[in-house]
Structure 1
């Protein structure tokens, strides 16, 4: 074994011991060992703080940030050795049966770790962690995917026709066909491999659509154009314990590995999430006293306070075209259509046309709600 590799395994074990991850791992092993169910794959999420790792060993920290696949193999080897030495799981036979998932707490606050669609595809040829921040605009229902599967050799005389030598486990960015398909061959006798269906492990998967927070800030208050448009979103894959952890409209920081997924004749850039964090709002935590005073002044009318807010702030926070619709809806609250005469209805329509032009037809001002 290379000295650097041995050193990184020692550091990984030291980190797990100091961070409490080793005790969590032992507890998870106990649950597997006490279960009466037969397992082919044992999955262990491990929480990783890159800053603490780098303080212990810079090489291992670099592996985690830039070569997560190799870093996962290091932790997999350490965990497998611990299971065998301590006899934690009696069913475990091979190292391939252990599925280690690294969950990063954060990434360095440097531009090279920020996920940017403008740089695609130049910086995303290697699979490493990036951080994206955005607002959830859509999400799918939770579906199933193949978390792992066991394969055996079709040749009964081959030693690999039994046992757990061929274990396929989902890796970030892999499609369903990469985990399960019918063209795998035995490395010993080159015979085809067949899947043992009773050992297939299914996990939960959810697809999230996120809009970059910078894009929304750039178009905030933009309502002069009549051409409809939509914000460009990107797809985030949530798996297993991360499913149903997001809500539409909330702003999140997502740490994950970029993936180029084929979609018909196009290539779609996605993000396989490793961890998600709800962004803390930077605004005031309570309503100011001046705002409360304004509410008390307008409390005698059921529409005045709402109209004031819509006229003052709606154009800054609503998508293009919605501001005028909102003002018209508030304006329509003043009238009962059952008692309006045709002349009054024509007056309302005239005022609406003036609203679309952002001017009042009576005094040529833009504050027509209060002028009327």
Structure 2
């Protein structure tokens, strides 16, 4: 692996280009509230592997094939930024920074896709993968420990105070890996005791998924331990999941489990549109031009009002993810020489 310092520099370059530094500064503001005293400061960092690869191939390779090491590198880089810019005055040690890497995309290769129909289903490298599934069951939201502070029981040890021993949850870890009563101090080997008032809890749900890409269906467990994802799952909906395979629940009827940090709604696209997209992939604008050219053939001739047609197509795209909204309005632009019909329908809902 390349020099650690150069990898951290590449992380800073990527964060600056992607706007991650600005988001990091914004996420630090709530922690400066005098009424809040935190042991662990949690930050979600969005990463696009392809963009990272353009900045530093070594860093991109680490991100895809050694996510735990990549998380440690991002943690160190974010800590240096926070301390250099004094974004959180109460921050003391690097271990207090808990970075969660949210992968926005993954390479479209079989190595980064979890297929339960392939062998082996369980024994595979620790790397982020994507999968698709239909939610068939969801448990209630339960609590797990995101982070905890431990103190050395030896009063003469420097670790008897401060924030030297911080344990946070990592993908694939069980609750006992974060909170236990047999940890020892790295300085004097004395027993550690947890400072319970600084324990940070998070939400956890377990969703039963069914893969339907082949004739044979397989059930597996999707485990999300990210608070902002717990309320986004809906039974009966199809999702694309990005996460790291983990064995955290050993049940006899479960083939595999995945701890995911990103959930994307998955919508079925017609075969004709997929074929059109493949045939026009050589150009950035050919697909949208063809769609606009063919839109509304019974209203306007092909090739006319293409800009207007494209604007209407964009307005028809559903971008909201709020499941509570049961009705979504669609803006319509009507061009006519006869205003009588328009006046009759003005103010009505269809």
Q: CA deviation at 1:170?
A: 0.4
CA distance in 2, matches of 1:151, 1:265: 35
* d(CA) in 1 for partners of 2:4, 2:110: 29
| Offset at residue 119 of structure 1 (A) | 4.3
- 1:78-120 Cα deviation digits (max 9, x unpaired): 1100111111101110000000000001110011111022445
CA contact (8 A) 2:115 2:121 kept: no
Question: What is the 5 A alignment of 1:314-329?
Answer: none
Question: Do the aligned residues in 1 keep the contact of 2:219 with 2:255 (CA within 8 Å)?
Answer: no
Residue segments in structure 1 that go unaligned for 5+ positions in a row: 220-230, 285-372
Within a 5 Å distance, the mapping from 1:1-372 to structure 2 comes to 4-119=3-118, 121=120, 124-215=123-214, 218=215, 231-239=217-225, 240-263=227-250, 269-283=256-270
Separation in structure 2 between the aligned mates of residue 277 and residue 174 of structure 1, nearest angstrom? 24
Contact 2:52–2:59 (Cα < 8 Å) also in 1: yes
Structure 2 residue aligned with 1:309: none
Q: Are the aligned partners of 2:121 and 2:255 in contact in 1 as well (CA < 8 Å)?
A: no
Native 8 Å contact 1:260 1:268 kept in 2: no
- Partner Cα distance (1:282, 1:134) in 2: 15
Question: SS state of the match for residue 260, structure 1?
Answer: coil
Q: Distance in 1 between matches of 2:257 and 2:249?
A: 10
C-alpha contact 1:259 1:271 (8 A) present in aligned 2: yes
How many angstroms apart in 2 are the aligned matches of 1:238 and 1:245?
Answer: 10
Name the CA distance, whole Å, in 2 between partners of 1:34 and 1:173: 33
C-alpha distance in structure 2 between counterparts of 1:107 and 1:117, whole Å: 18
Structure 2 runs not aligned, ≥5 long: 272-350
Task: Tell me the distance in 1 between the aligned counterparts of 2:53 and 2:122.
Answer: 23
CA-to-partner distance for each residue in 1:236-263, whole Å, 9 max, x for gaps?
Answer: 1112111111111111110110012353
Deviations 1:137-192 (A, max 9, x none): 11011111111100011111111111111001000111111100101011211111
Regions of 4+ moved over 6 Å: 264-267
Q: What is the CA-CA distance between 1:33 and the residue it aligns to? A: 1.1
Aligned length: 270
CA contact (8 A) 2:249 2:257 kept: no
In structure 1, how many angstroms separate the alpha carbons of the residues matched to 2:173 and 2:2? 31
TM-score by structure 2 length?
Answer: 0.73
C-alpha distance in 1 between matches for 2:5 and 2:233: 39
- Which residue number corresponds to residue 343 of structure 2? none
Cα displacement (A) at 1:268: 5.5
State whether residues 53 and 60 of structure 2, in contact with CA within 8 Å, keep that contact through their aligned partners in structure 1: yes
- Distance in 1 (CA, whole Å) between partners of 2:118 and 2:149 is 38
Question: 1:35 Cα deviation (Å)?
Answer: 4.7
Q: Distance in 2 between matches of 1:244 and 1:257?
A: 20
TM-score (norm 1): 0.69
User: What secondary structure does 2:247 align onto?
Assistant: strand
Distance in 1 separating the partners of 2:4 and 2:261: 24
- CA separation in 2, counterparts of 1:114 and 1:161? 46
**Cα RMSD for the two superposed structures:** 1.9
Whether contact under 8 Å (1:261, 1:267) holds in the other structure is no
